[in-house]
Each structure stands twice: as C-alpha cells, then as structure tokens.
Structure 1
Amino acid sequence: MATEPSPQRAYRAACPNCGAAVEFRSAASALAVCSYCRSTLLREGEALRRIGQSAELFEDHSPLQLGASGRWQGAAFTLVGRLQLRYAGGSWNEWHALFDTADATGAALRSGWLSEDNGGYVFSFEAPPPEALPPPEALRVGAAQVLGRETWSVASVTTAKLGAAEGELPFVPVLERAYVVAELRNAQDEVASIDYGPASEGRPPRWYVGRGLQLAALGLGGLREDSTRELKGRSVECPSCGAALAVQLATTQSIACHQCHAVVDVSKGVGADLQHYAQDTPGAEGRGGGEPLLPLGRSGALALGAGGTRSWQVVGYVERCTLPEPGDDEQSFWREYLLYNQKAGFAFLVDAEDGWSWVRPLTGAPQLGGSTARWQGDSYRELYRYTGQITYVLGEFYWRLERGQRTVNTDYQGPGGKRLNREQTGEGGDAEVTWSAGAALDADVLLKAFKLDAGQHAALQRDVKPLSSRGIGGLAGLFLFLLFVVIVFSLVRCGRDDCAELRSLYGEASNEYQQCARNTGGARGYGGSYGGFSTGGGGHK
C-alpha cells in the first residue's frame, strides 16, 4: 500500500466551476479534471482556471480506479490520473501513476504510466530517446528498427484520439485531436512507445519504455470491488434479432448472439450504434459451425506458462482456415478457444490436426535470423507460413471481428514442444504484429481440467499415428486409411458451399441440404496450424 506523499508537496483548491475540492499531489502536474463537474482545470500559481470540459469516460468496467495504490520494483505509487484513448480497433486506458519518491531532478515526484489494454498491463516511463527518432512514415510494421544499440520490432503504428480524461495529469489533454503513436518490442521483453503528438504542436516525439506485467504483481489496494457485480448487469440488444446479450468481460469488443449467431461489434460502448454481421457458414441447422468440444463458460485448472496453475474460463470459440496459395488446393482447418483469467488476462487453446497446444501473447518480440527465431535463450525453427481466415465464432472476444477477417501467420517449433507464432493483422496504417508463445498440450490434460466425460476422450484426440503400420493389421490399416480419406475429402472449403447443388435442387430447408450441411460443417477443425489470433496483449500504444 502506497503512503501519502508529503503534505508540503500537496496542493488543494476549490473548482472555480462547482466548488468541489481539487487536489494536486505533484508539483509537476499542470492540470486536473474535476471529478464532479468534469471541468478541465489549469493550475496557474495558487489559482485554478477552467479551460474547458472533459468528455464522459466510456464505462469499461476496469478494475483500476483513481486512488488505487501498490508497489512497482519496490517503490510505492498511487493512481492519480487517467487518459482514455480511442483508435479504429477500440480503446485503451493510460493510468498516471505518481510515486512517493522524487524524480531525477529532485523537484517533483516520479511518475509513470500503467497501460491497460485487452486484459494485459505495461508499466512505462518517459526516457531520453536513444537517438533521433524516425518519423512515423519511416516505420514499417513487422520490420526491425535499430535505435541506439538496441534492435526493436515495429508492432504497430496507430492513429489515436484522446477521448476523455480524469484526475491529475502532467500536461493539458486536447480531446479528439488525432496523433500518431508507434509501438515497438524487443527480445528483452520490453515495450517502447513513440508518441508523435498532434502535428499542429510541432513538438519532438516522446520516447517511453516499459515492461509487461500481471496485475497481481503490483499488490494493488483500493481496486473497484464492484466491477464484477457491474459486469453482470451489462447487456446489449442484438441489432439483428433483438435477443438480450449479456456481456461478461470488461474488455469485450465483439460478441456472438446465442440466438441468431450474428457477430455484434460493441467496441464503441454499450448504447452506441451497434454493427453486426450474420454468419452464414454451413453447419448445424444450416448455419453456424461445429459445436465446441470445450463448452463456453466452463472453467478448468491449467498451468499455462509462468504463474503456476490457474482457473481459466472458456469465453470464446473461433473456427479458422488457411487460404490456399494460387495453384495450391491444400487447405487446413483448426479451432481456437479463448480463455480468460481475471489476474492473468487471456490465453488460447488451439485444436489442430497435429494435436492440442496453448499460446499466450508476448510483451516482447523474438529476434529473427533467416528461418529461425530466438526467444529467452531458445532457438525456434520456422515450420509454416500461411494466411488464415475466421469462418465462425461463438462467445466474447477482446478484438473487433469483421467478416472474412484475415491474418498472416508464421509458426515456429522449439525444443521440448515449445511453440512461437507471429501474427500480422490489418494493412497499412491498421497493421499490427503480435507474437505468442506456448507449448504442446496432451488431450488427457484437457479432459481432466475441464471435467469432460470419459466418452469425449476420442473426440479430443488429434493424432494421425493410427495410420502408421506399427501394430495395425492389414484390414484394420486399410479401413483406417479409407476412413481418413473420407474425412479429408469431406472437409468444407473455406468460403465455399459444397452443398450448393443440393440446395439448388431441393431448397435450403430440405432434409437433403440440411444433412449435407451438418456433415460438412462437422468436419472442420482439423488443421495443420497452431497459430493464435492474439491481437493485443497489453501494449502501450
């Protein structure tokens, strides 16, 4: 728990608009937003001057709030301000953290920024740039950028706007003015941001460097105790069929309707004009894909990387396929389950033809050299490069889904079943690169963790070893081979309806067409990839 800063450093005055008390804890803070009337107040000596009014914050049900306090690397801090920034893909929060220790000048308290995005967190501090920073147009997403003696990977170059602000801030926020921010990551698990600011200001870009963390590592006190209770009451009406959709997660950007299967975009907040698209993938009842083997809402105890065993809840389900290259008829299908833990954020379980695996988004970026990648002392070799496309979704997702959304993936294999995935989404100014790391996972572990029936063991298996001749008689081997051929040829092609002839002859409501649609839809999910759609991961944008 952070202690209160020295009283000699605090400054309190009445809001000139409503009379409420406004406090400044740092001598370096130039501005505060009144918590009562939302007036933007500029500090001028011993007086406050109202220079405008801040917009209302979008209620994202963050567990953080002003006044929450904790420790970072042994130093105590308190959250005293907040910026809510918006971009094409949604929004994220920047919390102004004021420490109890002095900064490098000794004239004011040290401050930093706790970034909150997609269930992940990054603590960053402004620092002198290692050299003259390149202009944003010189940065290419996915490319290496050498700054000083460090090699960084450009993760994103985003145009953002400040949507709202609250509390004590070190500068005057200008609402709705567009500016560019670039995010870079390195092999030391660091995140750097270049804040170019509005073009009209003409100021030099600012350089911030930080590290990813889990909220539990900060030992925070004073969190919003009612955030879980409020989330239970957050609901929207499906714009397609009118069904009530209960949004359970604070970071949800898209949710699939349980009744009509439309995918609803809630990235602009509850009450905004909601966009949606209908899913017309053939499958059960002529629409939708296969049923998830791991039921939505089910929780299971799994050890996914550092942090030991945690309870992970299945909150989303995605079916994806590869898009064949020109002249190539080969195509793979796989399934992904989005998992959530309140303190650890998000992870993915991947169900592909070569077995199960798990991945979690990385803060940093592996170092690339030819067809190999190095991460935390291990060397990974490149296995596959492919373009993936989402074909069907259920549940909630922390990114905004769009029809036919595509990703460019590269999979890497490391020692002991370790895996890396590089994924690029979007193009041009909307492009973003995210790395994920994980490992292979035995199906028996999932059967036990999610308390599935023993009869589901066979359904979880993704292993083609029975096709080998070892231990299999001639007739049995021939039978399994023919069964495998039937399964392969029954796979649904991504974006193609193999039952179109039956639909034209008998109609979409006919038993003939419905049976064909069910059969082909049930064959999906046996892919040759273990990539994870892992946009986000707590970046300081």
Structure 2
Amino acid sequence: MNSSSSYLLHTSCPSCGAEIGIRSATAVTAVCGYCHSVLLVNQNKLLESGRHSAVLSDLSPLQIGTTGKWQGKSFILIGRIQVHYEAGLWNEWHALLADGSSVWLSETNDRFVFTRLQPASASEEKLPEFSSLEVGKTFFKYQSRWYAVADIHKTSRGQYAAEGELPVQLPNSETALVADCRNGLSFITLDYSSGQQQPEVFAGRGVTLKSLKLQNTRTKEQIRSQAGYIKGSNKRGKCPNCGGEILWISGITDYVLCQYCRSKLDMSEEAALQKNISERRQQQERQLTIKIGSKARINNENWWVLGAVVLFEVSVEKVFRDVPLYIQAEREESDEEDSLGWTEYLLYSPRKGFLWLLELENNQWALASTLDDWPVLSAPLEPIDLKRKNIPFLYDYAAQVIYAAGAFYWQVSPGDRMYYIDYGCKAHKLSTTLTDNEQSWSVVSTIPASLVAAWFQNDKNISIEAKPLAPDKAVEIVREHQGIKAKDFNADNIRKWSRQTFINSLFDIYNPNFWIALFIVLNLPVIFIILVGGPANYDHGVVALEVFGSAFGLLMTVPKLKTRLLNQTKKYNIYIAAILLIALTWLDYAVHETDTNSSGGYYYSSSGRWHK
C-alpha cells in the first residue's frame, strides 16, 4: 500500500509543482505536503482552492503513511483533519482500508477510537439537542444502549487544518458542535455542526495503539523536537511565569499579554519562551521532586517526563454544584491552608503511550492510566460491575491547578478546576475526572516510593526517600496495574486488594497500622492477665484498659497530627510514633502494676515472668 503503483491519481501540485499521489477513490480534498495548498479533487485533476492549511506538530505518534491492522483488515493513514479550539485540539485521521473503504481514527487527548458514519435511519429515538448536553448528567439511549457524555467540543472560532487526502471538503472556520459519548465498550460521536435537527452519528469503539500493530510511526526524537511547532508562522508555548498556554505569531507580534497571570512577555525573538525563563518559574520547577525532561526506566522501556501539574484541593461545590445524592459524602469544613496538595507528572513512551505518576503527601505515590473502555454505567457517575451491582464508592473531591509546566496532550492552565470521584479500594481505584466539557475514567493504583526510586535511580538529579525496589518486584507491580480494566472492579477483587493492602501495611513502618499492630502485640500480656484473671481482676484492669484505649486512639491520629500541627517530614512522623509507642506502653504496664500490687493481683516483674 506504500508504493506509487497504489496511487489512483499521480500528478503535480498546481501551486508549487510538487508531486502528489491520491490513493482513495473517494478523495475530495488534498493538501500539498510542501506548500500546504488546499486542493480540490475534481475529475482526476487537482484544482486550487485559494486556501492554505498547516497542522500543529503535536504529541501524536501517528503520521501520514502510518500503517496497521484493525478488525483483521490492513489500513494506511492518508489524511488528517486537525480541529483547533479554545481548550486545545483533536485529530481525525482518514484511514484507507485494504478494500478501498474509509474509516476515521479519532484522536482526542491520549485516546483513540475507530468510527464509521451511521445511516441517518439507524436510530428510532430522538437524540438530545446539543444545548441540553451536560458532562456528568446527560444520559440517553441510542440503538438500545445508554450513553453518558464524555467530551463536548463547542467553539465559534474553530480552526480547521489538514494534511494528506480527505473524503470531505475542509470546512472553513466555523462553529463546531461535537460530542463524544460512551458507556462500557460502546462509543458514538454526535456531530451537530451541519445545523440539522438530528446530528450525524459516528459509531465505533476505543482501541489501543498496541492492538493496531502500527508501522511507520513518528520516532520519539521527532515528537520531542517538533511538538508544539506549526508548519507556518503561528506559535504556541507556555508562559514563563505561570505555565499557562499562550499563542503568538513570530515576526509580527512583539509582545504578548498572558491571559492567566497578566505578565507582559517580549516575543521579539523566536526562542523567547525558552530563553526568558523568569526567576519565579525557576523556583517553581526546582520544587518539583521529578524534573521535566527526566527519563524513567519502567519495565525495560524508556519513559520521559513531559509535564507536571501542581494541584490543591478545593470545595466540591466550587467545581460541581449538583452532586447526585448517591455519591454525596460528608465533608469536614477546613481552611484553605489545610487543603491537600499533590503533583501529577505526565510520562510518555513512544511505544506505550501516556502514564500519570501522582506524588501525594508524605512520600506517597500512585500510578494512573486512562481507560480506553469505560466501565458499564447505570447513570453518568454510577459504575456497576458485570453482575450489575454498584462498585463501592470511596470519596469525591475537587482540585484547582496552581502551576503547570511542560508539554501536555490538552491545554492546562493555572486556575483550571476538576471534580473527582473514586470507587473501589485504596490499593486500586476506579476514578472519574470531570471538567465542564469532559469526563474520563482511569485506574489509579497505590505504589511504594521504592518503585519510583527504582525508575529514576540512574538520574542523579532526582532523590526519592526510599531504597530502589528489586527489578522483578518492580515489573510485577507495573504489570498488575496495567492489567487492571474497568471490568475487574468487582466485589471479589476489591476484597482481595483490600486484604492485601492491610497485610502489607502491617510491615510498613511508615503506615499507622504498623504502629497500632505493634502496640497491640506489646500490650497483649496486660489484656491477657485481665481477661484470664477472672472477675476479681476486671475492676483492677479498667484503668489499664482505659489507658490502652486512649493510647490506641492517639496512635490512630498520628498522621493527622503530623499533617495539621507538626508540619514535619515523614521521618519525624516515625520518631513521634515510636516515642508515643514506648511512652504509652510503659504507662499501660505501670498502671496495671499499680492496680495489681495494691490488690494482691498479678504483676509483671523485671525478670520477665508473671508472679503471684
């Protein structure tokens, strides 16, 4: 499919004379790869349209000429429509199958979906109007299946760019009204842009790049060196003060005012964003535990840290006001300075795609992967397992971006807010993230700091407070995480994961369960003597039991004391727990010894034996 003999039309660009080959019999539009002229295909001729088009080189591993297999059929990517809007962009790749038919490979953020246009009579139900669609709320039926809204693309300033050949004409800048909808394995796109009462429907399902057996993809060097550059004069980059995205035109615009922090930036030189890094930005980047551009070695694959987002928790009501009754949680009122904060690092591998590494408080870490297939939903925010039972709800919370730096597959800026709902258990969570126009589902797994230390152990600029995990154990943890899908969240697996987490916590000195378990073991002799000593000893043991209960409760609050009051590092938390353990255990024995000595009961001697 790559040879020139496969072209149905082989001619020259009427604008610059470059050779152009047309493969598809349904091609209507072609874009010259040299001068970027938009050409019309008419009766085996290429006609100038008077328009030019240039796509942004983004983080996509795909390109014109990429080949693969889908549903057992070979395909080649021969064209792309790139839609730019206020929140970022998405790609629609025109794929030509071996039988000559066309399908679309949609690339939104880091998700990929193959779809086909459905006949207008494919649905007997009236589909919802575009104005009524709401992320996290709309739930409608199409061809006997229910769908929730995943993405809403609405813009009155849409910019359409293209390359290669397309079976449709390239739209002018116009209103784009498109919504992606999902439920389980099912996916549909509703396109309202034509202005018709009922939208065009494209149906399909999500795919992984690995399953497509791709060839001739972009190399990691191409992606890293070209991402963010347009084949033309338009430029985009990050504000050196706050990390917000800015746009400018080189050679024309000398000064740009950042819409987020209002900084005035001198863009008179091409590399201004890279050279004029402010002191504030440098200080913020130095505070990151993992530096942007660092390389991690994960399961024999190289992963690069493309970007970092720093968030802090805010009130849910500020982000998602109408929280459904079935997920409302009791919330503690707290001041903003007591709010939790965390950092999310975007990792990228040319062969494996994207991965999120979350750095939480107290050197706690988690790994997150966006799901290609959603969980089965009984409502937009209510996942159910294969037995149609609700997956256990954990908690919901909201966050705001305070700092963003690096490259991302969507536009992220300071002030952005998200709403999260977690289901499952602490070890592995099924988590959904909502913004005003998007909802996604992810698997989030708690991982030890030693695993992160193992990934970055060859980077001398990164210091993780943990001994690197053994390679075989590190591989096992990552494989377990990557193997978990939405369908795996059922009662049996959640009990298994919870049980394993509890057992592991008993051997982790950084976990409160370790100290609580140790306290119980050390104080068992006191409890045993009280219980076996008969009624006569019950009264004398009351004080000791009260001390034991108070000490137990105090140990339970150690993490909270650390976070709210002491504001120390994690190692000091261990010292506090150890001191409390020793002091409270001594007090418990002292109280019991006093009671028993005064009443003729049992007491513990310094020789380590029990005496009458």
TM-score w.r.t. length of structure 1: 0.70
- 1:130 equivalenced with 2:123 (yes/no): yes
2:140 counterpart residue number: 145
Supply the distance in 2 between the matched residues of 1:263 and 1:32 (Cα, whole angstroms). 36
Larger radius of gyration: 2
> CA shift at 1:187, angstroms?
0.8
> CA shift at 1:412, angstroms?
0.8
Kept in 1: contact 2:68–2:213 (CA 8 A): yes
Q: CA separation of 1:419/1:255 partners in 2, compared to 1, >3 Å: closer, same or farther?
A: farther
> CA shift at 1:400, angstroms?
2.4
Q: Deviations over 1:95-146 (max 9, x none)?
A: 2111111xxxxxxx21112223434432222223434433212322223221
Kept in 1: contact 2:244–2:414 (CA 8 A): no
- 1:412 equivalenced with 2:405 (yes/no): no
> CA shift at 1:479, angstroms?
9.0
1:175 counterpart residue number: 172
More helix by percentage: 2
Supply the distance in 2 between the matched residues of 1:269 and 1:114 (Cα, whole angstroms). 30
> CA shift at 1:366, angstroms?
2.1
> CA shift at 1:470, angstroms?
3.2
Please identify, of 212-221 and 154-163, the stretch whose mean Cα deviation from structure 2 is larger.
Answer: 212-221
Kept in 1: contact 2:244–2:404 (CA 8 A): no
Supply the distance in 2 between the matched residues of 1:376 and 1:288 (Cα, whole angstroms). 45
- 1:262 equivalenced with 2:242 (yes/no): yes
Q: CA separation of 1:470/1:152 partners in 2, compared to 1, >3 Å: closer, same or farther?
A: same
> CA shift at 1:419, angstroms?
0.9
- Of the candidates 189, 192, 196, which is equivalent to residue 196 of structure 1? 192
Q: Deviations over 1:503-535 (max 9, x none)?
A: xxxxxxxxxxxxxxxx89x99xxxxxxxxxxxx
| Corresponding letter in the other structure for 1:134 | P
Supply the distance in 2 between the matched residues of 1:389 and 1:363 (Cα, whole angstroms). 25
Supply the distance in 2 between the matched residues of 1:210 and 1:404 (Cα, whole angstroms). 34
Instruction: Identify the structure with bigger relative contact order (alpha carbons < 8 Å, sequence gap 6+).
Output: 1
Q: Could you say what secondary structure the match of 2:53 adopts?
A: coil
More strand by percentage: 1
- Of the candidates 342, 353, 366, which is equivalent to residue 357 of structure 1? 366
Structure 2 gaps of 5+ residues are: 264-279, 318-331, 469-507, 523-547, 573-612
2:399 counterpart residue number: 388
1:340 counterpart residue number: 348
Q: Could you say what secondary structure the match of 2:465 adopts?
A: helix
Q: Could you say what secondary structure the match of 1:471 adopts?
A: helix
- Of the candidates 64, 72, 94, which is equivalent to residue 66 of structure 1? 64
Supply the distance in 2 between the matched residues of 1:44 and 1:204 (Cα, whole angstroms). 30
1:116 counterpart residue number: 107
Q: CA separation of 1:254/1:14 partners in 2, compared to 1, >3 Å: closer, same or farther?
A: closer
> CA shift at 1:434, angstroms?
1.3
Aligned length: 452
- Of the candidates 330, 333, 341, which is equivalent to residue 328 of structure 1? 333
Q: CA separation of 1:386/1:100 partners in 2, compared to 1, >3 Å: closer, same or farther?
A: same
| Corresponding letter in the other structure for 1:45 | Q
Output aligned runs, 1:44-83, within 5 Å.
44-60=42-58, 62-83=60-81
- Of the candidates 23, 30, 34, which is equivalent to residue 28 of structure 2? 30
2:564 counterpart residue number: 488
Q: CA separation of 1:230/1:315 partners in 2, compared to 1, >3 Å: closer, same or farther?
A: closer
Kept in 1: contact 2:316–2:419 (CA 8 A): no
Kept in 2: contact 1:467–1:481 (CA 8 A): no
Q: CA separation of 1:229/1:461 partners in 2, compared to 1, >3 Å: closer, same or farther?
A: farther
RMSD across aligned positions (CA): 4.3
1:514 counterpart residue number: none
Q: CA separation of 1:74/1:333 partners in 2, compared to 1, >3 Å: closer, same or farther?
A: same
Percent of aligned pairs with the same residue?
28
- 1:220 equivalenced with 2:214 (yes/no): yes
Q: CA separation of 1:168/1:274 partners in 2, compared to 1, >3 Å: closer, same or farther?
A: farther
Supply the distance in 2 between the matched residues of 1:269 and 1:118 (Cα, whole angstroms). 25
Supply the distance in 2 between the matched residues of 1:270 and 1:379 (Cα, whole angstroms). 54
Supply the distance in 2 between the matched residues of 1:232 and 1:6 (Cα, whole angstroms). 33
Q: Deviations over 1:160-193 (max 9, x none)?
A: 52421222111111221222111111112x4321
> CA shift at 1:490, angstroms?
5.6
Supply the distance in 1 between the matched residues of 2:35 and 2:94 (Cα, whole angstroms). 20
1:317 counterpart residue number: 308
Kept in 1: contact 2:345–2:358 (CA 8 A): yes
> CA shift at 1:80, angstroms?
1.4
Kept in 2: contact 1:159–1:178 (CA 8 A): yes
Supply the distance in 2 between the matched residues of 1:163 and 1:123 (Cα, whole angstroms). 20
Supply the distance in 2 between the matched residues of 1:476 and 1:396 (Cα, whole angstroms). 49
1:275 counterpart residue number: 258
Supply the distance in 1 between the matched residues of 2:62 and 2:78 (Cα, whole angstroms). 11
TM-score w.r.t. length of structure 2: 0.63
| Corresponding letter in the other structure for 1:215 | L
Supply the distance in 2 between the matched residues of 1:138 and 1:480 (Cα, whole angstroms). 48
Supply the distance in 1 between the matched residues of 2:15 and 2:262 (Cα, whole angstroms). 51
Q: Deviations over 1:321-355 (max 9, x none)?
A: 22246881274333333222222222222334695
Q: Could you say what secondary structure the match of 1:457 adopts?
A: coil
Kept in 2: contact 1:98–1:112 (CA 8 A): yes
Q: Deviations over 1:351-384 (max 9, x none)?
A: 3469532211123332344885236779631111
Kept in 2: contact 1:141–1:432 (CA 8 A): yes
